């Protein structure tokens, strides 16, 4: 058995998270049993990340065939060490440090061990701490995919990054600057300094400034949606793109594209992200680090936590 956080009651939300003893996923010789499949490795989790609205997604509650999968272990970002290999795993070995994003429809990473498809993981270099590794997985991949796979950002273009002081927005800001774009960040007044420190060249306080004053931009990276998303669509130049990570945009640019997407695992992109952490081009945005025993409290905070919450499963 292992320690894990589970959820069983969808209506209870994060308050329904419980720390329990749960069966460990098994490795190679038990492929297909106990939660490990062909292509899986078992990872001893050192650090785990959780996305705040995960418990509202169907994938937390049912598997790909729509069958109830409770009790379900949330958290799908991790850094840890491979402890077992199933059949069909390539590129990884027992004892290797790894990090990555696990399948939304399977048991996750708020646990001492997790079975993960090998292709969802990348090697974590020895000089990158597990906490840092886990913290860049989801925001790093989301930012990279939104900017380059979907937004096709190029040097010299201008980009409006909503929520630029937030977990995803701060990554988007850094990658966009490195790519040679002109970056305008948005958010609330307390986020101004943070956004500028992450590399935004201008900041729009959405409570006070007029969004339309930014003029035309080539790309909008929207983490807010709603009315802000709608108004942003009108700012996009001909041939530009509105990329949303909060569902389908309610408005389209007159002469441009809209894309909404959900982040997917990608080994090569994880390696790009971690290389930037190592050489100082990318800073992570961690707000709180807590032990697994304190994870339920960490995900039910009495005050808003800015930055990523990471659960350090092994000290």
Ligand X SMILES: NC(=O)c1ccc[n+]([C@@H]2O[C@H](COP(=O)([O-])OP(=O)(O)OC[C@H]3O[C@@H](n4cnc5c(N)ncnc54)[C@H](OP(=O)(O)O)[C@@H]3O)[C@@H](O)[C@H]2O)c1
CA 139, CA 299: separation in Å to the nearest integer?
18
Q: Which of 4, 6, 167, 183 binds ligand X (CB under 6 A)?
A: 167
Mark residues 168-197: x for contact with ligand X by CB under 6 A, - for none.
Answer: xx-----------------xx-xx------
Site membership for ligand X, residue 273 (CB under 6 A): no
Pick 262 or 291: Cβ nearer ligand X = 262
First to last CA, the chain: 19
Q: Which of 123, 151, 163, 240 binds ligand X (CB under 6 A)?
A: 163
**Which range, of 38-46, 58-66, 159-167, 267-275, touches ligand X by CB under 6 A?**
159-167
Min dist. Cβ of residue 222 to ligand X (A): 9
Site membership for ligand X, residue 230 (CB under 6 A): no
Min dist. Cβ of residue 187 to ligand X (A): 4
Mark residues 192-221: x for contact with ligand X by CB under 6 A, - for none.
Answer: --------------x---------------
Site membership for ligand X, residue 243 (CB under 6 A): no
CA 8, CA 30: separation in Å to the nearest integer?
26
> 311, 228, 266: which is closest to 17 by C-alpha?
311
Min dist. Cβ of residue 219 to ligand X (A): 16
**Which range, of 32-40, 160-168, 177-185, 231-239, touches ligand X by CB under 6 A?**
160-168
Min dist. Cβ of residue 76 to ligand X (A): 10
Q: Which of 19, 62, 196, 246 binds ligand X (CB under 6 A)?
A: 246
Site membership for ligand X, residue 293 (CB under 6 A): no
Pick 44 or 142: Cβ nearer ligand X = 142
- The footprint of ligand X (CB under 6 A) covers 51, 53, 138, 142, 163, 165-169, 187-188, 190-191, 206, 223-224, 245-246, 262-263, 306
């Amino acid at each position: 058995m292992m320690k894990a956080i589970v959820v069983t009651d969808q209506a209870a939300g994060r308050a329904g998270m419980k720390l329990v003893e749960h069966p460990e996923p098994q490795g190679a010789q038990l492929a297909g049993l106990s939660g490990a499949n062909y292509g899986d490795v078992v990872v001893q989790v050192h650090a785990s990340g959780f996305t705040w609205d995960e418990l509202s997604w169907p994938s937390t509650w049912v598997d790909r065939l729509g069958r109830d999968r409770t009790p379900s272990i949330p958290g799908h970002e991790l850094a840890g060490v491979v402890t077992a290999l199933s059949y069909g795993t390539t590129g990884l070995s027992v004892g290797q440090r790894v990090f990555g994003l696990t399948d939304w429809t399977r048991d996750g990473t708020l646990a001492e061990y997790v079975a993960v498809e090998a292709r969802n993981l990348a090697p974590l270099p020895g000089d990158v701490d597990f906490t840092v590794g886990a913290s860049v997985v989801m925001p790093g991949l989301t930012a990279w995919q939104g900017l380059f796979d979907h937004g096709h950002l190029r040097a010299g273009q201008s980009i409006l990054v909503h929520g630029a002081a937030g977990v995803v927005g701060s990554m988007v800001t850094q990658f966009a600057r490195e790519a040679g774009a002109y970056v305008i960040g948005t958010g609330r007044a307390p986020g101004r300094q943070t956004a500028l420190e992450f590399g935004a060249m201008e900041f729009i306080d959405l409570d006070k400034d007029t969004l339309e004053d930014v003029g035309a931009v080539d790309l909008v990276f929207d983490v807010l949606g709603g009315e802000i998303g709608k108004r942003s669509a009108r700012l996009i130049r001909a041939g530009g793109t509105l990329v949303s990570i909060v569902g389908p945009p309610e408005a389209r640019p007159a002469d441009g594209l809209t894309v909404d997407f959900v982040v997917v695992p990608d080994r090569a992109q994880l390696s790009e992200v971690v290389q930037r952490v190592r050489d100082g081009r990318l800073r992570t945005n961690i707000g709180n680090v807590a032990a697994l025993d304190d994870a339920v409290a960490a995900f039910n905070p009495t005050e808003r936590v800015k930055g990523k919450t990471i659960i350090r499963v092994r000290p």
